[in-house]
């Protein structure tokens, strides 16, 4: 299909970066702010903890299901229009949450917010790649990552402050004007995207299969977390069968005339394939650690939740700084060595966490968490940059969607597995301290599996490994 160019807007690349950071930051912050408010929903609507947890899970499921659509919608309507629609939909969802009168209305608002986030987040890097030259993509995504990495640590703190002094509705109300501002700035600064002269037909069967597979995986995770092991395993098996059917269909469509909902031919590109593997492995390790650290600090060490926040903030701050430094490095020297170094640093810090004792000082714990942050910054976001950089511009949105879905789904399953281990092992006579140190060690060993992928990445700077735009 031939692409038709549309006149570029007058906004500078830095203005586009500001717009994308504001939009992505808004949707990410609004989600993470709700974590401390679950007890408030339990009290306000007389809910169990599991029922209140649907505030988080409904958002996640809707977001993951929306992500595979971004490639098709971007090709048919243009990235700018889809991004604006996502921000408008997110503002609407936030407004619905502010006005909600009962818990089902809260869940509807969260589904709308999640679906909107699934449109906005995968478009962020493709929008930046469209306006920044190849030789600046590393530092630009490093700047983007420096904000994104801080949000998971800052969001719960902001949510706790708002909830302490205001009301849970404030957690929905605050994003409304910010999302509206992000929409106005995006409308002014984002240039109309190139559109296909022949609009692709919608691969409805492919979307139904991948959506069903993802929904089964997410549902299986919830059932396993609730102790329904047999049902969870059956759901995972059904998800695998559905995914196999999806892959077979998409490969057949790639050989024909119909555009698949996800072009799996992307995985034939070495840097994309190995970049996604590294990102997924780091996500599994990172989110598993987010479960373990609060238990270690507050249960084993007997410290307050504030110390947990400091430990996580140390990781986030150093990951933010490391991401910026790594972005500049891969622009000049290529990704292989810096990503491999980041993985090794994260592995060493994780193994060191596995050697902690109950009387370990908080200073040492925070130092190890900061070291983990440096390793994450050196490897997590740069691997995503490398993966997308190897794709032609027509596939960057689909590539971003695949990367986001893979890491979020696998991280969710890892959190379930870690939670089950934390419950099961002490029940069989293993001390909690021993359980946690063993799981810290496991988070490091998981990353050993990513080292071969780092060795397979291109050693060349980004400008020398990007595909032709012709």
Mean pLDDT of 24-31: 84
| 298 phi-psi bin (left φ>0, alpha ψ -120 to 50, beta other) | alpha
Mean pLDDT of 441-449: 93
User: What's residue 257's pLDDT?
Assistant: 65
User: What's residue 9's pLDDT?
Assistant: 47
Q: Is the pLDDT of residue 183 over 90?
A: yes
User: What's residue 463's pLDDT?
Assistant: 63
User: What's residue 50's pLDDT?
Assistant: 63
For residue 184, the SS3 value is helix
Percent of the chain with pLDDT over 90: 24
User: What's residue 155's pLDDT?
Assistant: 72
User: What's residue 40's pLDDT?
Assistant: 75
Beta bridge partners of 4: 195
Q: What is the CB neighbour count within 10 angstroms for residue 133? A: 12
pLDDT digits (tens, 9 = 90+) for 3-25: 433 334 457 888 888 888 898 88
For residues 346, 348, 350, 354, the Cα torsion angle rounded to the nearest 10 degrees is 180
Mean pLDDT of 345-350: 94
End-to-end Cα spacing for the chain: 13
Element (H, E) at 195: strand 195-196
Tokens 């994003």 — which residue?
175
User: What's residue 2's pLDDT?
Assistant: 37
Mean pLDDT of 338-362: 92
Q: Is the pLDDT of residue 270 over 60?
A: yes
Mean pLDDT of 71-90: 90
* pTM to 2 decimal places: 0.83
For the ranges 75-79, 148-152, 278-282, 343-347, which has the lowest average pLDDT? Answer: 148-152
At 1, the pLDDT band (50, 70, 90 cuts) reads very low
User: What's residue 466's pLDDT?
Assistant: 55
Percent of the chain with pLDDT over 70: 91
Q: Is the pLDDT of residue 164 over 70?
A: no
pLDDT digits (tens, 9 = 90+) for 95-127: 999 998 888 899 999 999 999 999 998 898 888
Looking at per-residue pLDDT, the higher value among 306 and 238 belongs to 238
Distance between CA atoms of 15 and 11, rounded to whole angstroms?
6
User: What's residue 51's pLDDT?
Assistant: 72
- Domain residue ranges of the chain, discontinuous segments joined by +: 11-193, 203-260, 266-462
CATH of range 11-193; options 1.20.1330.10, 3.40.50.300, 3.40.30.10, 1.20.1250.20: 1.20.1250.20
Q: Is the pLDDT of residue 381 over 70?
A: yes
Burial (CB < 10 A; 0-12, 13-18, 19+), residue 61, is buried
Can you say whether the dihedral through the CA atoms of 204, 245, 453, 377 is positive or negative?
Answer: positive
Q: What is the CB neighbour count within 10 angstroms for residue 11? A: 18
CATH architecture type of domain 266-462: Up-down Bundle (1.20)
pLDDT digits (tens, 9 = 90+) for 48-71: 666 777 787 788 888 888 888 888
Looking at per-residue pLDDT, the higher value among 195 and 103 belongs to 103
User: What's residue 56's pLDDT?
Assistant: 79
- 388: closest CA among 49, 54, 126? 126
Mean pLDDT of 252-264: 78
At 396, the pLDDT band (50, 70, 90 cuts) reads confident
User: What's residue 36's pLDDT?
Assistant: 65
Q: Is the pLDDT of residue 401 over 50?
A: yes
User: What's residue 364's pLDDT?
Assistant: 92
User: What's residue 58's pLDDT?
Assistant: 84
Distance between CA atoms of 279 and 177, rounded to whole angstroms?
33
Distance between CA atoms of 52 and 43, rounded to whole angstroms?
10
Q: Is the pLDDT of residue 86 over 90?
A: yes
Could you say which DSSP state residue 196 is in? E
Buried b (16+ CB within 10 A) or exposed e, 186-204: beebbbebbbbeeeeeebe
On the question of a common fold for 11-193 and 266-462, the answer reads yes
pLDDT, mean over the chain: 84
Element (H, E) at 325: helix 305-333
At 272, the pLDDT band (50, 70, 90 cuts) reads very high
Q: Is the pLDDT of residue 459 over 50?
A: yes
For the ranges 117-121, 299-303, 355-359, 421-425, which has the lowest average pLDDT? Answer: 421-425
Mean pLDDT of 223-237: 83
């Amino acid at each position: 299909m031939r692409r038709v160019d549309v006149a570029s807007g007058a906004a500078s690349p830095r203005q586009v970066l500001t717009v994308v950071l504001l939009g992505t930051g808004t949707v990410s912050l609004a989600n993470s702010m709700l974590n401390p408010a679950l007890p408030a929903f339990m009290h306000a609507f007389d809910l169990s903890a599991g029922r209140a947890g649907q505030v988080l899970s409904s958002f996640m499921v809707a977001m993951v299901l929306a992500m595979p659509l971004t490639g098709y919608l971007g090709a048919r309507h243009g990235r700018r229009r889809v991004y604006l629609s996502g921000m408008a939909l997110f503002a609407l969802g936030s407004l619905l949450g502010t006005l909600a009168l009962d818990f089902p209305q809260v869940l509807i608002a969260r589904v709308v917010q999640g679906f909107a986030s699934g449109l906005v987040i995968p478009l962020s890097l493709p929008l930046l790649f469209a306006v920044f030259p190849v030789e600046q993509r590393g530092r630009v995504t490093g700047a983007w990552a420096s904000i994104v990495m801080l949000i998971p640590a800052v969001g719960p703190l902001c949510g706790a402050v708002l909830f302490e002094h205001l009301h849970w509705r404030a957690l929905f109300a605050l994003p409304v004007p910010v999302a509206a501002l992000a929409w106005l700035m995006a409308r002014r600064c984002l240039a109309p995207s190139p559109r296909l002269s022949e609009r692709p037909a919608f691969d409805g069967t492919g979307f139904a299969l991948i959506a069903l597979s993802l929904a089964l995986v997410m549902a299986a995770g919830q059932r396993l977390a609730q102790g329904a092991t047999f049902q969870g395993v059956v759901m995972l098996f059904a998800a695998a069968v559905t995914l196999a059917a999806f892959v077979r269909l998409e490969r057949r469509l790639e050989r024909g005339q119909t555009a698949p909902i996800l072009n799996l031919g992307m995985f034939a590109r070495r840097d994309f394939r190995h970049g996604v593997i590294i990102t997924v492995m780091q996500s599994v390790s990172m989110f598993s650690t987010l479960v373990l650290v609060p238990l270690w600090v507050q249960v084993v060490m007997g410290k307050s939740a504030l110390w947990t926040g400091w430990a996580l903030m140390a990781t986030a701050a150093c990951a933010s700084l490391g991401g910026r430094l790594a972005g500049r490095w891969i622009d000049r020297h290529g990704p292989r060595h810096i990503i491999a170094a980041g993985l090794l640093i994260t592995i060493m810090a994780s193994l060191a966490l596995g050697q902690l004792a109950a009387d370990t000082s908080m200073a040492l714990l925070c130092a190890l968490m900061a070291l983990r942050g440096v390793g994450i910054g050196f490897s997590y976001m740069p691997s995503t940059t490398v993966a997308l950089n190897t794709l032609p511009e027509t596939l960057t949105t689909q590539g971003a969607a695949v990367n986001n879905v893979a890491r979020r789904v696998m991280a969710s399953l890892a959190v379930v597995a870690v939670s089950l281990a934390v419950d099961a092992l002490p029940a069989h006579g293993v001390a909690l301290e021993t359980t946690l140190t063993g799981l810290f060690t496991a988070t490091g060993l998981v990353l050993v599996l990513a080292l071969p992928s780092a060795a397979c990445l291109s050693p060349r700077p980004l400008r020398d490994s990007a595909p032709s735009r012709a």
